[in-house]
Amino acid sequence: MTEHARLNPAVTITRQWWHSSTVYQIYPRSFADSNGDGIGDIPGIISKLDYLEKLGIDLIWLSPIYASPMDDNGYDISNYQDIAPEFGTLDDFWELLAKAKERGIGIVLDLVVNHTSDEHDWFLQARKGRDNPFRDFYIWRDPGPDGGPPNDLQSIFGGSAWELDPSSGQYYLHLFSRRQPDLNWENEGVRRAVYDMMNWWLDRGIAGFRMDVIDLIGKQPDKKITADGPHLHDYIQEMRRETLRHRDALTVGETWSVTPDSALLYSGRERHELSMVFQFEHVTQRWDEVFGKWRSKPFDLVALKAVFSKWQQALAEDGWNSLFWGNHDLPRAVSRYGDEGEFRVPSAKTLATVLHMMRGTPYVYQGEEIGMTNASFTSIEQYKDIETLNMHRLHLAAGLSPQDFIAGAHMNSRDNARTPMPWTDAPHGGFTTGTPWIEANGNVGSINAAAAVDDDQSVFHHYRTLITLRKTHDVIVYGRYQSYLDQHPEVFLYTRTLGGDRVTVLANLSKAPVVVALPGEIVTEGEALVWTHQPISSLEQTVSLRAWESFCILTRT
Ligand code: TEU
Ligand code: CA
């Protein structure tokens, strides 16, 4: 376990099992429905384990499956130690855990402890009155001087972050929906209860936690501090001491606020609070300064490469990156960064290659491995996501036209990632025999898992290759990252070097064919590792790349 991988004489990093792992994220509601009620469930996931084993992934990150009124599709938890009936039972979960383990797949659970549901027993108690022992589990304040909310803190889902509780006359804080009251991490009882719950799951054999908005738990709402509060890292360190320290688990924090410096606080070897964090700079760089994701900026490869290179360099000697294009909150990778039309397949493969060849642990969001596209909804009635529906109401009231809102939603609504996983070309992609809770994509006839598995040239088989290469080539896991042609608007070129091994990654991220003049040190001859169009094993000074063509060459000296 603690063998050292030698990167270069100056740097050693302790080898961890999750360095060479690939994580697959499942959004249970949209993955596979076993009983025809239109909602994905745990038995559905169990029925797809063979598919996941074939893909070669090591871990499943399961978005919340806990008891929940589903105001935010399970990110509003009413009981951390039970399963939502629409998803199954605890016994179903133990079966999933065991059957995944038989295939060498670990289960990472979603830890949502910034807030609970308003139906959690703690909140039901807290709401009973100011002197209830659970009152202080949440964040209550008297009205502001004008009798309104204590201050103008805004909810991430729109509107005030404060909700009046009429019976006590106080407001409680909710950084997300009003049905997601924020827990008060300053209260020791909250922290103890969370650690006990974490240990309960860890003792039962889960592989780790993905930690929802963990950078918000140290909030100080009176000072309007939400992310990166003064005690944030104290809490995470305490959590580690109380739960994770003596275990070999994978932990990944969702941290929209993280910077390269704070990434080292979380994942650096000195404190090792978490295995790694998700940074979102490649996502938010496309958002408008004022209208956020509802008005997005055009694709800019030079800027995108700069973000990736910055993070690769920043965590080159300490810390660890997580690598992802999408998740259940984000648009589909091909639609966002690639080409959903003529070049869907090569663009999906090329996006996968440039991401998976970097240093870090890759995350594949369900359906990405078959090149799923954004939802093609044209009316607000088709959208189900609470954030989209809230923002629709608020933006229209502020004067945005319905067409403009739908255009923004088509690009960036969270529902783009939540349409049912298409398994076959049957109605609704074979996701359900009933009516799905959200409409399936119109293209399930051609984009579905069965077709992808059958076609050895598919995006699926490309992902399979990438996942395997990471397990067989240490240079992909630990090699030093060096980028070239940083100002080139279409081409992404980088190398990874470890000892005498060098991987060269060359990609055209555009639909225009390009002719590239390569830097002298890139001219090489070696072994073709993975490619979109044809195997390439050597590079001359000048290279022609077709639309969305990419390949990797391994050189050994
Ligand atoms: O997301 C945090 C979060 O801030 C997102 O809502 C994000 O701002 C937005 O979706 C960007 O598109 C996490 C979960 O991933 C999300 O699903 C939950 O709704 C949220 O926390 C609350 O638990
Ligand atoms: Ca079901």
Task: Please answer whether residues 405 and 383 qualify as being in contact, where contact means their C-beta atoms are separated by less than 8 angstroms.
Answer: no
Q: State which ligand 1 atom lies nearest to the alpha carbon of 328.
A: 17
Alpha-carbon torsion 102, 104, 105, 108, what sign?
Answer: positive
Q: State which ligand 1 atom lies nearest to the alpha carbon of 412.
A: 12
Distance of CA 321 to CAs 48, 174, 332, Å?
28, 30, 21
Task: Please answer whether residues 385 and 417 qualify as being in contact, where contact means their C-beta atoms are separated by less than 8 angstroms.
Answer: no
The number of the ligand nearest the C-alpha atom of 71 reads 1
Helix (H, G, I), strand (E, B) or coil at 36: coil
Residue 200 CA to ligand 2 center (angstroms) comes to 26
Tell me the pLDDT of the chain (557 aa) as tens digits. Answer: 334 454 554 456 889 999 999 999 999 999 999 999 999 999 999 999 999 999 999 999 999 999 999 999 999 999 999 999 999 999 999 999 999 999 999 999 999 999 999 999 999 999 999 999 999 999 999 999 999 999 999 999 999 999 999 999 999 999 999 999 999 999 999 999 999 999 999 999 999 999 999 999 999 999 999 999 999 999 999 999 999 998 999 999 999 999 999 999 999 998 889 999 999 999 999 998 877 888 888 999 999 999 999 999 999 999 999 999 999 999 999 999 999 999 999 999 999 999 999 999 999 999 999 999 999 999 999 999 999 999 999 999 988 899 989 999 999 999 999 999 999 999 999 999 999 999 999 999 999 999 999 999 999 999 999 999 999 999 999 999 999 999 999 999 999 999 999 999 999 999 999 999 999 999 999 999 999 999 999 999 999 999 999 999 999 98
The number of the ligand nearest the C-alpha atom of 42 reads 2
* 212 tagged catalytic: yes
Residue 445 CA to ligand 1 center (angstroms) comes to 31
d(CA 52, CA 31): 12
Pocket of ligand 1 (CB under 6 A): 72, 75, 112, 156, 176, 212-213, 254, 256, 293, 328-329, 387, 414
* 121 tagged catalytic: no
Q: Atom 3 in ligand 1: which residue has the minimum CA distance?
A: 213
Q: Which of 250, 248, 255 is nearest to 233 (CA)?
A: 255
Residue 157 CA to ligand 1 center (angstroms) comes to 9
